[in-house]
Chains A and B, each alone.
Chain A
């Protein structure tokens, strides 16, 4: 799980262009949206692409993403349970 969390943090920094951030700067238990990383609705859509591209998980809409993108840890748990690649 810890390896997946690290991989996920690196992926998020890469696809969301979080310039100057390192995995250590992201608290895996903190909310991804609303505060902290300053992510917005377009970032949420890009995370849906990340889930599909890297883990073979297709999310139907952004609403579904809201639950899964609560924190990096919640994302990692969902990926571990549902990944197809």
Chain B
């Protein structure tokens, strides 16, 4: 059983989980109109940290001044510190792993970087956060666009069940910048007024800053827990395999995730659904379709975006904690800003704070790259009925102990059930397929990725619209799968994609930065901005090959073969439904291409 032993939310509203809950209960929000936030020419409606307040909170932890850390890092450290303090764990032990959920980290440093050059890399921020607590392990960065916060909690559960750790500190953190706000503006996705989730008049989202942290641990299912403990019952991620920025009109991926986390569970005490509810036309319609298709249209639905805005990489963590606070206080929170619900299919939108005797909630989230996630969370109390919940997704690999030897045995068994069916490596000079040279770079070559495209025989005009990271990834997948027999027409739930790299989407980030750098030539490009998320490459591969299972993107300081294999096996162990997993390192930075992609397949007995 995976459960929380400490949490924290710091936001412009308040600097603790409970403080934020009380402010939300009072209907407060720090979302406000800015005429020229970050020097932008267009107005925006944002929720921003007060610098002084953030620095005060950070200074209470660290007496060497605030200059050594960025705003995002300070927010993350304050949240993590509070959660670790509540959990009362020794974060410097090697049985603790840090997981950072963020979409853009310190991307604002592309404009002006007073720190070391590596500071713009997400792995470096995660490293600094873990080092602040003297943690000896390599931290994991989950960068899965807007679903990152929920994906990070699922990663935590995997690492606790299959990675040998006893504690996972999940930190979601996002601060805003000219880069982020201009990109969303170029997408025409922002409302210039307070957002209205699920409202008939909704006209876009608001962005917000926040950091939130949860410390999860693992124990036997029959352990006696204190009242009001948050239990992570199940989590799932699914790809729409439809479009990199537009939600599926049929809610396909989100529906699959809802079904995975609810199948086999008693939902009689499901209190509410905390939806993504961004207040964009298409997201909220998509969620209404998925919830209706899941038969949950009568369950109260709320969105917290009217209080905090969309806090991107922090959203999944923040909204899980706040929903738990609400459940502890037997409350279904109001969807602030919404007056007249109006989605393509009807939802029971919570328009007032209301009482509940439920003990469970569903957290839903969706994002760019076609990604969707659902979490089934339970507030444990002694008055709960004896649990009839069956952890169906993980039953095959559940264990009573987390001794390393048991974990190793389980992983070896999982590896034996799968084998690597195909490999593809792309370097700056050659493409290697299953150990043999597929193509070498010509002396006269000017565009290596385009040369590989033509050599692969791929007919996919969209290739030329992609950034270099996506081009490298989709080419590797194309070549990796060229001799593999599989259904190329139907969306496949038993296929997944797990990629990782060092540079995230930094190559494209730098490209986008050139479109907003000069005030006299300020034309932020949506077609470039959409690729400033590392997980878009998983979305492009999912669309091309119709892959509807879990897709995820992780970031580490370097390529380590044993780490990649371990994570692949952990992912397969945690997702018994996955029979095929495209797993690999896909990196493109400073003109250098480094791709090592593997196809793990279940051995049919």
- A: which residues have CB within 8 A of B? 15-20, 38, 40-43, 45-46, 48-49, 52-53, 60-62
Contacts and interface: CB of A to CB of B under 8 A. Distances in A.
Nearest to A19: B464
B188 A16 contact: no
A16 B187 contact: no
B419 interface: no
A16 B462 CA distance: 10
Given A18-B461, A19-B464, A41-B245, A62 B188 contact: yes
B464 A46 contact: no
Contacts of A43: 527
A25 to B, nearest CB: 12
B576 interface: no
B188 A49 contact: no
B488 to A, nearest CB: 19
Contacts of B465: 16-17, 42
Contact of B187 (A18, A45, A52, A53): A45
A10 to B, nearest CB: 16
Contacts of B85: none
Contacts of B462: 38
B525 interface: yes
Interface centre among B186, B463, B526 (most CB of A within 10 A): B526
Nearest to B528: A46
B225 to A, nearest CB: 47
Nearest to B246: A41
B97 interface: no
Given A45-B186, A49-B186, A38 B461 contact: yes
A43 B461 CA distance: 13
A45 B527 contact: yes
A46 B526 contact: yes
B530 interface: yes
B524 to A, nearest CB: 8
A17 B463 CA distance: 9
B203 to A, nearest CB: 9
B293 interface: no
A25 B463 CA distance: 19
Contacts of A49: 186, 523-526
A55 to B, nearest CB: 12
Interface centre among A20, A46, A60 (most CB of B within 10 A): A46
A42 B188 contact: no
A49 to B, nearest CB: 5
Interface of B: 186-188, 243-246, 461-465, 523-527, 530
Contact of B526 (A18, A20, A38, A42): A42
Contacts of A18: 461, 464
A52 B185 CA distance: 14
A71 to B, nearest CB: 20
A25 B49 CA distance: 52
B474 to A, nearest CB: 14
A53 B243 contact: no
A40 B243 contact: yes
A42 B186 contact: no
A53 B516 CA distance: 13
B188 A45 contact: yes
A42 B523 contact: no
Contacts of A15: 527
A48 to B, nearest CB: 8
B461 A19 contact: yes
A44 to B, nearest CB: 9
A15 B530 CA distance: 15
Given A42-B530, A45-B527, 9 more contacts: A17-B464, A20-B461, A38-B462, A42-B465, A42-B527, A45-B188, A46-B525, A49-B523, A60-B188
Query: Which 6 pairs show the lowest CB-CB distances between chains A and B?
Result: A19-B464, A45-B526, A46-B527, A17-B464, A53-B523, A17-B465
A27 B243 CA distance: 26
Nearest to B465: A17
Contacts of B464: 17-19
Nearest to B282: A41
Nearest to B527: A46
Nearest to B464: A19
A52 B521 CA distance: 11
A60 B204 CA distance: 13
5 contacts: A16-B465, A42-B526, A49-B186, A49-B525, A53-B523
A38 to B, nearest CB: 7
B363 to A, nearest CB: 27
B461 A42 contact: no
A40 B244 CA distance: 11
A72 to B, nearest CB: 18
A40 B526 CA distance: 12
Contacts of B524: 49
A20 to B, nearest CB: 8
A42 B244 CA distance: 9
Contacts of B523: 49, 52-53
A19 B245 CA distance: 22
A46 B524 CA distance: 9
A61 B188 contact: yes
Contacts of B526: 42, 45-46, 49
A15 B526 CA distance: 11
Nearest to A45: B526
A15 B527 CA distance: 9
A52 B188 CA distance: 14
A49 B529 CA distance: 13
Nearest to A61: B188
Contacts of B530: 42
